Amino acid sequence: MNMDFFILMKSELILTVIIFILLILKIGEGIRDNAVLMHIANGLLLLNFIAGFFMNREGALFSGMFVTNDVLSLEKNILNFGTLLVSLQAFDWLKNHKHLLEFYLLLLSTLLGMFFMISSQNFLMFYLGLELSAIPLAALVNFDLERPRSSEAAFKMIISSAFASAISLFGISLLYGTTGTLDFAYMADYLHGSELQLFAFIMVFAGFAFKLSAVPFHLWTADVYEGAPAPITAYLSVISKAAMVFVLITVLGGLFRDLEGMWYNVLYLSIIVTIVVGNLFAIRQQNIKRFLAFSSITQVGYILLGLSAGNETGFSSAIYFLIVYLFSNLAAFGVVTLVSAATGKEGIDDYKGFYSTNPMLALVMALALFSLAGIPPTAGFFGKMFLVTAGAGKGNYLLIAIAALNMVVSLYYYLRVVKAMFVDKSESPIAKLEGSLMSGLSLAICMAGIIVTGFVSGLFEYIVSLFIKV
């Protein structure tokens, strides 16, 4: 063991140290002020985020089980940054919560699991990370212990998550059976696209699709999103999805690279049903969290469309879109969190007349929704355009036409919320909200991200250059 170990695993090690620091604080009970504890946790997360930019090296550990490179470091940084934003947004919700530190311990454990999952080059390591990221999440969903809906959601989540893992494991065992190894590097040599391997791939992909909530494995999403506390919903819809997409990038671009003709068809079907079904269900929703759940299902369809290109452009545009999506979705959930923490209202109709009482928050929400809908000049437009551009590289115009026309459908339901906020009048609109500085800060960061990331091409070009380097 030499310095390599510390440098290559620095994100994971720092995160572990943070978890231990928080654990010691918990045991010591030295600090009882929730606000101070949260500032400490946020500060530590920020440190890890900053550290993620330095000393990034390429390399492998544990006989190739764990690898890291510039792309993977960037992916971890994105997750870390998103977690920081979620933590800032949770401030109002948690400042009087008596289990504050448990929240951070669980949250950071899932993040650590995701880090390992992304870096894994071996199915054992991958499964370890997957479970580490999944089980604490169910506990987080049930974090408001007194709410029966949360318990129901957590139960749904843990069952479906275990089911998904089991399916994935079955697929992995079949892959092991046909190749005799769990190591990605060796396994790739033995993948020739036999029928059993196709079946195995579909099983593994189905497990992924559960976590991504791609149709037809989306059924848990809306209930869990509705039942979970709003910041946890935000975390589920952004961070945990992003981690899974990053794994898909590794798997599709590395392990299954030679089987592209095979997995393209699986993705093709998955994209169409995910986009269409997500859209159709989103139209009818009355609860804003369920609404955002179905809209995020549709967004996954577009991400898969980018991935289906199977080249650097596709993968870079998927990562770029995830950054944009992180800003947009967290901005939308930030507003939802504020409203639901202050008033408990979660219906779309409750947002009627929102602009007259809370103009700034309504603008934030509108910009976030426009970004999700892919309307210029928000970054969402660029994100969607790049995904669709990458996806069109295969020359499958039917798929592109379906995706493009579904943007129109999605515009309809995003406009519904915009209309409720700006056009409709209400006799009892949501009163003027006083958010904390922390949630204001997170919304401001998201707004800056939505406005700037599109016009400034540096970010996208940076991601592309990383891919070319790797």
Partner 1 sequence: MDMILHILIHVPLVTALVLLLLRDPRQVRLAALLGSALQLVISLVLLWGYRAERKAGNTAQMLFESMHEWYPSLGINYHVGVDGIAVAMILLTAIVVLCGILFSWNVQQQPKEFFFLIVFLSAGAYGFFISLDLFLMFFFLELAVIPKYLLIAIWGSGKKVYSANKLALMLMGGSALVLVGLLGMYYSAGNTFDLMKIAEAGIPPGLQSLLFPMIFIGFGVFTAMFPFHTWAPDGHSSAPTAASMFLAGISMKLGGYGCLRVATYLMPEAAQQYSWLIIVLASIAILYGAFATMMQKDLKYINAYSSVSHCGFVLLGIGMLTTTAVAGAIMQMVSHGLMTALFFAAIGMIYERTHTRQVGELGGLLKTLPFISVVIFIAGLCSLGLPGLSGFVAEMTVFVGSWQNPGAFHRTATIIGCASIVVTAVYILRALGASVMGPIRNEGYLRLQDAAWNEKLASAILILAILAIGFAPFWLTDLVMPDSQLIMNKIIGGVSP
Q: How far is the CB of 212 from partner 1 (least distance, A)?
A: 24
Q: How far is the CB of 426 from partner 1 (least distance, A)?
A: 15
Q: Residue 332 is encoded by which pair of tokens?
A: 């939308």
Burial class (CB in 10 A: 0-12, 13-18, 19+), 326: buried
- Dihedral angle over CA of 236, 242, 247, 248, nearest 10: 110
Task: Give the number of other Cβ atoms within 10 Å of residue 96's Cβ.
Answer: 9
Contact call for residue 388 and partner 1 (CB under 8 A): yes
Q: Which DSSP string do the residues of 120-138 spell out, in sequence order? A: B-BHHHHHHHHHHHHHHHH
Contact call for residue 64 and partner 1 (CB under 8 A): no
Query: Residue 121, Cα to own-chain centre: how many angstroms?
Result: 21
Contact call for residue 385 and partner 1 (CB under 8 A): yes
Contact call for residue 469 and partner 1 (CB under 8 A): no
State which residue, 392 or 441, has the beta carbon closest to partner 1: 392
Is the separation of the CB atoms in 365 and 331 below 8 Å? Answer: yes
Q: How far is the CB of 407 from partner 1 (least distance, A)?
A: 6
Is the separation of the CB atoms in 453 and 324 below 8 Å? Answer: yes
- Per-residue binding string, partner 1, 437-466, x by CB under 8 A, is --------------------x--xx--x--
Q: In angstroms, rounded to a whole number, what is the distance separating the alpha carbons of residues 44 and 46?
A: 5
Burial class (CB in 10 A: 0-12, 13-18, 19+), 32: exposed
Among 377, 426, 441, 451, the residue binding partner 1 under the rule CB under 8 A is 377
- Per-residue binding string, partner 1, 334-373, x by CB under 8 A, is ------------------------------------x---
What is the distance between the terminal CA atoms of the chain, rounded to a whole angstrom?
A: 25
Q: How far is the CB of 420 from partner 1 (least distance, A)?
A: 11
Among 404, 426, 441, 451, the residue binding partner 1 under the rule CB under 8 A is 404
State which residue, 194 or 457, has the beta carbon closest to partner 1: 457
Q: Which one of the spans 113-121, 200-208, 325-333, 378-386 is the region binding partner 1 (CB under 8 A)?
A: 378-386
User: Footprint of partner 1 on this chain (CB under 8 A)?
Assistant: 313, 316, 370, 375-377, 381, 385-386, 388-389, 392-393, 395, 397, 400-401, 404-405, 407-408, 411-412, 415, 418-419, 422-423, 457, 460-461, 464
